[in-house]
Structure 1
Amino acid sequence: MLAQLRNAAIAAGLLVALLPIAWAAHAARESSLPVRSNEDESGRNKLVARQVFEEGLSQGRFNVPYTDDFVGHGGGTKTFTHDAGMAEARGWRMAFPDLKVSVDLIVAEHDLVAVRWTARGTNSGVGNGIPATGKQVQTSGTAIFRFVDGAIAEEWTAGDSLGLLKQLGLMPPPSGASQNR
Structure 2
Amino acid sequence: MLDRASQGDDMPTPPPPNPPGEAVDVRDMLVAHQAFRREFRLAPAAVERVDDGDRRQARRVAKHLRLIIRILDHHHTGEDRLLWPRLHHRVPERLDALVTEMEHQHEELHSLLTAVSEQVTAWIARADTEARGRLTGTLKQLFRALHDHLADEEARILPLASRYLSVDEWQELERDGIGALPKTRAALAFGMLMYEGDPEVVSLMLSRAPAPARLLMPRLAPRAYARHARRIHGTSTPGPRTAAGSHETVARRVYADLWNDRRYENADDLFHPHFSSPAAPELSGGAAKLAAIRVYHAAFPDLKVTIDQLVASADQVAVRWSVTGTDTGGLRGRPPTGRVITTWGVDFLEFDNGRIIRDWVGTDWLGTLVQLGAVQSPWTNASDN
User: What TM-score comes out, normalization by structure 2 length?
Assistant: 0.32
Name the counterpart of 1:61.
263
Post-superposition Cα deviations, 1:129-159, rounded to whole Å, max 9, x if no partner, equal 3431100110000001111111111101111
Instruction: Kindly state the Cα deviation for residue 165 of structure 1 after the two structures are TM-superposed.
Output: 0.6
**1:84 Cα deviation from its structure 2 partner:** 4.3
The answer to whether the 8 A contact 1:144-1:155 is kept is yes
2:297 counterpart of 1:93: yes
Relative to structure 1, is the Cα distance of residues 73 and 143 closer, same or farther in structure 2, using a 3 angstrom cutoff?
farther
Tell me what 1:108 maps to: 312
Aligned pair partner of 2:364 in 153, 160, 169: 160
- Please report how far the alpha carbon of residue 94 of structure 1 lies from its aligned counterpart in structure 2 after TM superposition: 0.9
Matched residues in 1 for 2:311 and 2:251: separation?
10
Given the alignment, which residue of 347, 356, 359 partners 1:143? 347
Aligned partners of 2:245, 2:332: CA distance in 1, in Å?
33
TM-fit CA distance, 1:81: 5.0
Mapped to 1, the partners of 2:319 and 2:253 lie a distance apart of: 11
**Aligned match of 1:3:** none
Q: Structure 2: which 5+ residue stretches go unaligned?
A: 1-242
Contact residue 120 and residue 139 of structure 1 kept, 8 A: yes
Distance in 2 of aligned mates of 1:99 and 1:47: 21
Aligned position for 1:46: 248
More relative contact order in 1 or in 2 (CA 8 Å, sep 6+)? Answer: 1
Letter in 2 for 1:70: F
Tell me which structure has the larger Cα radius of gyration. 1
SS at match of 1:110: coil
Paired position in structure 2 for 1:70: 275
TM-fit CA distance, 1:100: 0.5
Moved over 6 A (4+): none
Shift of 1:61: 1.6
| Structure with the higher fraction of residues in strand conformation | 1
1:49-108 CA-partner distances (Å, limit 9, x unpaired): 11111221112223132112113468xxxx785444322210101111110100011110
Matched-pair identity in %: 36
CA contact (8 A) 1:73 1:157 kept: no
Contact 1:122 1:136 in 2 (8 A): yes
Query: Are the aligned partners of 1:43 and 1:108 in contact in 2 as well (CA < 8 Å)?
Result: no
Partner-residue secondary structure (3-state), 2:345: strand
User: Does the 8 A contact of 2:277 with 2:288 survive in 1?
Assistant: no
Query: 8 Å contact 1:73–1:155 — kept in the other structure?
Result: no
Partner residue in 2 for 1:118: 322
Number of residue pairs matched by the alignment: 134
| RMSD, matched Cα | 2.9
Moved more, 138-147 or 84-93: 84-93
TM-score between both structures, scaled by the size of structure 1? 0.64
* Structure number with higher helix proportion: 2
1:173 to partner: Cα distance: 7.7
Deviation at 1:42, TM superposition (A): 9.9
Q: Deviations along 1:9-55, whole A, 9 cap, x unmatched?
A: xxxxxxxxxxxxxxxxxxxxxxxxxxxxxxxx896211111111122
Bigger shift: residues 80-89 or 133-142 = 80-89
